């Protein structure tokens, strides 16, 4: 560089630099403005709904179990109450009726129900002796005209042994003897007089 020209060189350098800067600035201003705009724009904020942690899906509803059917007015089953024991007989006639019911219960297929006819084909009278415990001590035909009817009557009494014990007021503790009559409505079926209904025509 020639001596004595430092000021010119300085001016040249300053002017060159300024022109370069301005020229560069003209070219870069749009770029700078764009960058400034990008810098001034904040990035899009994520949607609150999408950024929030998703809530757990509700559990599948369990099928409702059917409640046991109840009835408002349902009442508990009544307890079975045992039947009271039969009243003991008060006399010999009541004891004979008790024995007659016992015999009929053990020979139901031959017991005639209903009103007896006015004319009976057979009548059998048995003489019966019973011990203190109801054992059949002796039985015999007292009166009969029909052997077949007599056999049916004897078999019915023997089938029903032992009989109810003869316990009623006024009697001792030994054996008891009484009579029972079999009234035959036909060749095979009968009623006991102690339980019989009135005959037709009576």
Output the average pLDDT for the chain: 75
- Report all structural domains of the chain as residue ranges with CATH numbers, in order of start: 92-192 (3.30.1150.10)
Banded model confidence at residue 89, pLDDT cuts 50, 70, 90 = confident
CA–CA separation, 146 and 123 (whole Å): 8
Residue pair 170/158 in contact (Cβ under 8 Å)? The answer is: no
Higher pLDDT, 127 or 48: 127
Q: pTM of the full predicted structure?
A: 0.57
Q: Give the DSSP H/E element, type plus range, for residue 178.
A: strand 176-184
State the distance between the two ends of the chain, measured CA to CA, in whole angstroms. Answer: 178
Show the tokens assigned to 202. Answer: 């009576």
Q: Which range (89-93, 103-107, 178-182) has the least confidence?
A: 89-93
Residues written for the chain: 202
Q: How many helices (H) and strands (E) does the chain have?
A: 4, 4
Mean pLDDT confidence for 157-169: 91
């Amino acid at each position: 560089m020639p001596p004595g020209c430092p000021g010119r060189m300085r001016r040249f350098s300053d002017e060159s630099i300024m022109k370069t800067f301005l020229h560069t600035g003209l070219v870069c201003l749009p770029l700078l403005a764009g960058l400034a705009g990008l810098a001034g724009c904040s990035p899009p904020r994520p949607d609150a709904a999408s950024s929030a942690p998703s809530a757990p899906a509700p559990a599948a509803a369990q099928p409702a179990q059917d409640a046991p059917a109840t009835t408002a007015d349902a009442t508990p089953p009544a307890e079975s109450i045992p039947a009271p024991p039969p009243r003991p007989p008060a006399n010999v006639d009541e004891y004979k009726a008790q024995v007659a019911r016992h015999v009929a219960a053990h020979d139901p297929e031959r017991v005639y129900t209903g009103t007896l006819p006015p004319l009976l084909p057979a009548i059998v009278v048995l003489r019966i002796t019973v011990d203190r415990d109801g054992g059949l001590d002796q039985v015999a035909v007292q009166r009969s005209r029909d052997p077949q009817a007599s056999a049916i009557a004897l078999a019915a009494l023997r089938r029903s042994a032992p009989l109810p014990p003869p316990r009623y007021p006024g009697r001792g503790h030994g054996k008891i003897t009484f009579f029972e009559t079999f009234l035959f409505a036909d060749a095979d079926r009968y009623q006991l007089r102690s339980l019989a209904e009135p005959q037709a025509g009576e």
